[in-house]
Amino acid sequence: MNQELLQLEPKLVWEKFSALNAVPRPSKKEERVIDFMLAFGNSLQLETFKDGVGNVIIRKPATPGMETKKRITLQSHLDMVHQKNNDTQFDFDSQGIEMYVDGDWVRAKGTTLGADNGMGVAAIMALLESDSIPHPPLEALFTIDEETGMTGAKGLQGGVLQGEILLNLDTEEDNEIDIGCAGGIDVTAKGTYKEIAVPKNAQGYQLTVSGLQGGHSGMDIHRGFGNANKIMNRLLNVAGTTGNIGIVSIQGGGLRNAIPRESISQFVVTDKQDDKVSKAIKNLATTIQKELSHTEPNLIVTLKKEDVSKKCMEKEAQRKLINAVYGAHNGVFSMSAAIGDLVETSNNLARVEIGNGQIKMGCLTRSSVESSKMDLANTLKAVFELAGYTVALSGDYPGWDPNPDSEILTILKKQYELLFKEKPEVVACHAGLECGILGNNYPELDMISFGPTIKGAHSPDERVQISSVQKFWKFLKTILENTP
């Protein structure tokens, strides 16, 4: 364990976070962290079990004198987003996260930190282990696969949970109390193309877009960050209109819920216009860097000569691909008319994979309005189908409708004001929270979401604020003491 982290307050929370981050826990590969949580609950001699899909539930009796209070379900997800810098050597399947303290922040060395949602998991673990914190009957729900489909929440059957109030510990600003969230749907386009032989005298190139901030495709989608897939497409387009090029491969972006930070393409110039193509790419790269100078000061575009495959994409397929990526909406689609400054609908063009005659592109479309979500998903579907690709809509999950009259919301607002001498921000967020899904099988469950301040989630710049964790922990303990 990182000894520097273990000296931070609250020590029990940081101890649990360090232990959790020593366990590899990628989405859809949670076997080890499930076993870790089961062993933890059993070591405390608490009622501990796993449901049919892999969610872990641990129950703890109330402290003396609080037995008649409403049972609280504390909920966080076990999996984390795995992203790393290109120059970072790291195996997420076998290594624990390497953390360090940077002033008032905890970061990871070149990878995502896992504070989303590891800080929530660690706080719940600390509550379960502590014998000095007053609390009503507690039920901990640790869900799996939140980041790539929310299949844990979707698979949780009705009748398993016993709580009357659910505290979801998965938001990222410590002055906010969340009462609603967006739903989402995956849009996946696939196609094939004819490969043609590269002329003998063609010059090969590798083009790289890097240095972008990335970030959470819900919480950060309005910040104007660059999308590596969109930038790459602009550069390849200018190359193709300046000279004769043939695309060999593109590998851009990664997970659907992460704004793509990097893209690498290989192409050939077949008409001896190498110098003109190179100059056009560099000129446009300078223009894009100026456009994004405020939001992406570290954007890097590199072009170098390189031997590439002997086959490339035929010209008509290439034209359709570039047009499809141009036509696919990326970023904010509409703002909410009901809630100020809330993104209503957006899309993240998350992944572009081209090579060996195969095309695959992936998007995550989000909205707090179901009809708008499907409208944008169908817009994307139409664009991709016009290019001749097959399109699948999958992984659909609902949003969480705000309830401004919630009993637990009233309690949280009151306790926040008493503790911190200011009013909290009551918000709905553009991220996907599991509350909307859980509410389908537990419609009477009074739900709320809050958490410590986390910046750069879903990117290697992810960090959690130490002083905010202290604030969050104080708030959480106070809530448990004052529930009905």
Residues identified as active-site: 79, 146
Distances (CA, A) of 16 to 6, 19, 98, 122: 9, 5, 15, 5
With CA atoms as reference, report the closest residue to 437 among 55, 120, 136, 124: 55
Helix (H) or strand (E) holding 108: strand 105-108
60 pairs with which residues across the strands? 138
Residue 460 to residue 82: CA distance in whole angstroms: 9
Determine how β-strand 245-253 pairs with β-strand 263-269.
antiparallel
Q: What share of the chain is helix, strand, coil (3-state, %, to 5)?
A: 30, 30, 40
H or E segment to which residue 20 belongs: helix 11-21
As a three-state string, the secondary structure of 302-362 is EEEECCCCCEEECHHHHHHHHHHHHHCCCEEEEECCCCCCCEEEEEEEEEEEEECCEEEEE
- In whole angstroms, what is the distance from residue 285 CA to residue 236 CA? 11
Q: By the 8 A CB rule, do 389 and 324 touch?
A: yes
Question: DSSP label at 373?
Answer: H
Query: What pairing do the DSSP bridges indicate for beta strands 454-455 and 195-197?
Result: unpaired
The CA–CA distances, whole Å, from 89 to 92, 98, 113, 116, 403 equal 10, 12, 15, 22, 45
